[in-house]
């Protein structure tokens, strides 16, 4: 934060207040530095957690300075239709197999199958069956 504050002060002195505040990125930087300083010297009278989170917004400046990052974000933007199609296909598969799992395995009673989380790993409701399928397809909580 000290480096960012010094950068803002030196730019303000070097460019002058008129030209410094003419550039939008400088306005953004100045606002983030001021909010960071306020949150740093807060005595606990205000809840400034949101202001502390805004400091992370300085990472947005990397987009401006990095041509490679701009190309990567442009590629991501151009691939959004394909990403949406894959996500919809995944949701359709989860929906279909959730209904099939409820039909086939929904009436099975709990037993001692060595499961860690028996309450949440079943096919009794649509939500729970979709949860089991998503957890198993992503590998989350499956040892």
**Which sequence spans correspond to the domains of the chain?**
2-66, 80-138
Q: How many CB atoms lie within 10 A of CB 72?
A: 12
Residue among 103, 96, 90, 98 nearest 128 (CA): 98
pTM: 0.53
Over range 10-21, report the average pLDDT.
91
Predicted local confidence at residue 66, as pLDDT? 79
pLDDT in tens, 64-88: 777 888 888 899 999 999 999 999 9
Over range 81-104, report the average pLDDT.
95
Contact 40, 72 (CB under 8 A): no
Contact 32, 4 (CB under 8 A): yes
């Amino acid at each position: 934060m000290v480096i960012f504050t010094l950068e803002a002060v030196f730019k303000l002195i070097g460019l002058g207040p008129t030209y410094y505040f003419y550039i939008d990125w400088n306005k953004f930087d100045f606002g983030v530095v001021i909010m960071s300083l306020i949150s740093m010297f807060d005595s606990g009278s205000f809840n400034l957690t949101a202001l502390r989170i805004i400091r992370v917004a300085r990472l947005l400046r990397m987009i401006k300075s990095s041509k490679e990052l701009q190309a990567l974000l442009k590629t991501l933007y151009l691939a959004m239709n394909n990403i949406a199609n894959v996500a919809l296909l995944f949701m359709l598969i989860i929906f279909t197999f959730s209904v099939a799992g409820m039909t086939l395995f929904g009436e099975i009673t709990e037993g001692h199958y060595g499961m860690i989380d028996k309450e949440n790993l079943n096919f009794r409701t649509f939500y729970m069956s979709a949860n089991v399928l998503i957890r198993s397809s992503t590998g989350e909580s499956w040892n």
